Structure 1
Amino acid sequence: MLKLSTLTLVVGAFMLFVSAPSWANEHLSPEHHPERPIWAIADVWPWGYTDREMPQGLLVRLTEHLMARTGIDAQVIVRPYVRTLKGLNEGSIDLAYAFTNPASAPDLINLGTIVNSATLLTTLSDPGSPAPMLDHFYGRPVGYIRGTYYGEEFEQAEQIIKVPAEDAAQVMLLLARGRVDAVVTTEQAIFYGAPRLGIPAERLNSSVLRASQTGYLYGSPHSDFRDQFANIAQSLDALHLNGELERLFQPPGSALAP
């Protein structure tokens, strides 16, 4: 059983000394050609979401930070994960974050790694219960976030009843209410979702389904702003080299946390 306190999560709190970026939630068609690059955040809590009509979330904070470092004035939007990938491939979105999925992003321009996250299979059980295995849930409902790639083991597990949810908050709610017997999520979804729903850490029983699920910042090969991609990639590299990205992605209470 994995303890909640040991999970790696993305948390950042930092000051920006530049003007706030322009935010939007509107639909953008493939024919839309803005004067500024469009930087999309997938509407998957806790990575990105809208609160009081303002984008919030872990990747929203990172985007602000990268925009401040590069001086790039982008139009930042929050939209569903599937539409984000579709927009990248079509060229209606210039930049976006996504977990690796060989089927959905074959031609995208990889600008660098954002996070390495474990994929967990989690159920609610009493302390001391055996770790869950995917084959334990054949014929039973298992929740997951729609459009997210969790590796081939989950993709090929046709014996389980896969129940899609729109975001991490919803999939954790399904688990808490007993609508599904287990969930497959990134570790960040577990870390953020359980406390919000009042689920005690000792009831979370998790096993690692995929040890490393890598999230990248991608650029669209059809973007009119490809000349700015190198600047963004260099700034992302700098965050890795000086340890700043790791500090932003550190759990609260850690000695490395800001």
Structure 2
Amino acid sequence: MTDRKAELAANLGRVTERISAACAEAGRKREEVTLIVVTKTYPASDVRLLAELGVRHVAENRDQEAAPKAAECADLPLIWHFVGQLQTNKVRSVSSYADVVQSVDRKRLVDALSRAAVGAAREMGVLIQVALDADSDERGARGGVGPGGVERLAESVAEAEGLRLDGLMTVAPLTGPYEGRPRAAFDRLMEISSRLRVAHPAANMVSAGMSSDLEEAVAAGATHVRVGTAVLGVRPSLR
């Protein structure tokens, strides 16, 4: 085993143990939580090693990096998630490889994704990004729509051709009433998810939690956690 593969395997093992322990603490089954490895800034070679180690879900946040990486790894049995703020002029490219777009926060983006999905003759999963630091239906500082705008945006996704409403996503706010309180933020997301599922029962995916707060997300009920640094190491740009 190469040094890098051994490093990734060890990191992956530690993260898996953290998820298992969090599930046990919360009285949940381990299979209820899916790990998404965020591979931004890391090369396609790392994605290949992760696939060899059993990872099936990977995420990127910048199309200019994600598109060539996804193309290079097109032969792998991976599910690609796009998690960054998405501009409409990047939608056609993103729709060529992303299986799920987790950062949908406005009607204009829904319309653009629908057109692209139809044009590519494929279906894309969509998560509505909820901004817990925003009032009503305003957009948050890190993207996302305020809690008051979720229901209306969900209807737009559900009615859009080529799109599938999978659920909700959030990033723990850095400011506002949930600053430093990730568990409270994730509990709030679960409340919004419960209301959403009354009208859209299949929209049961809840993406929350990252390297620093995945335990809080699992405790709250998240179905997917997005982990980058704890698996791949400190981002190259931060070294």
TM-score, structure 2 as length reference: 0.31
The structure whose Rg is larger is 1
Q: Which has the higher contact order (CA 8 A, sep 6+)?
A: 1
More strand by share: 1
